[in-house]
Amino acid sequence: MQAHINPDHYLQTPQGIVWTEARGRQARARAYTDLEYALREAGEGGVLYLVCGIQGGGKTSWIRDNRSRLEDDAIFLDAALPRRRHRQRALDLAMAHRIPAVAVWIDVSLETALQRNQARPEGERVPVEAIRRVFAQLEPPMQVEGFARVDIVSAAVRLPDVESDRGVSGCQPPA
């Protein structure tokens, strides 16, 4: 069974997303607890997709548009994860459960992300300062971090009409 894990889901209230430093820490902790559970339950056919990039870039849209075409046991971690150090915990968990990890880097301009963020409903907008701060930190993921593969998506687009890549393999330790 597929899982879509996004720390923002734990910040939702009836009025929209409410973010504070403390709530952000709690949301990340819950997301990693759920990620570990999903990895444990996935078994041999599981693949972890770290869908990362700037807020407003199209990560959630990419998952929505592509999830039906990927593995039945696909696990999606939907978060900015701008630097290698931010991705390491998820990679360590995947390796501990012998699940290959694929990075899906949503590579969009700051201008595009800001426009998309502005188009969101008011309660779901990310503060502009936060988007700019994350953009300044961006380091594209690299296979040497421990990914079986790194896919770069220049916009939140649907995968081409091909069979899903069920041949993803390898849980290589980071260099």
- Measured CA to CA, the distance from residue 105 to residue 40 in angstroms comes to 24
The domains located in the chain, with CATH, are: 3-153 (3.40.50.300)
pLDDT of amino acid 96:
96
Amino acid at 45: G
Nearest residue to 171 (alpha-carbon basis) of 48, 56, 68? 48
Paired with 14 in beta bridges are: none
In the chain, the N- to C-terminal Cα span, in Å, equals: 31
Encode the chain (175 residues) as per-residue pLDDT tens digits.
Answer: 899 999 999 988 888 788 788 988 999 999 999 999 999 999 888 999 999 999 999 999 999 999 999 988 999 999 999 999 999 999 999 999 999 999 999 999 999 999 999 999 888 888 899 999 999 999 999 999 999 999 999 864 444 443 434 344 333 333 3
pLDDT of amino acid 168:
44
pLDDT of amino acid 175:
39
- Measured CA to CA, the distance from residue 112 to residue 118 in angstroms comes to 10
Q: How far is CA 135 from CA 70, 82, 97, in A?
A: 28, 8, 31
Q: What is the DSSP letter of 78?
A: E
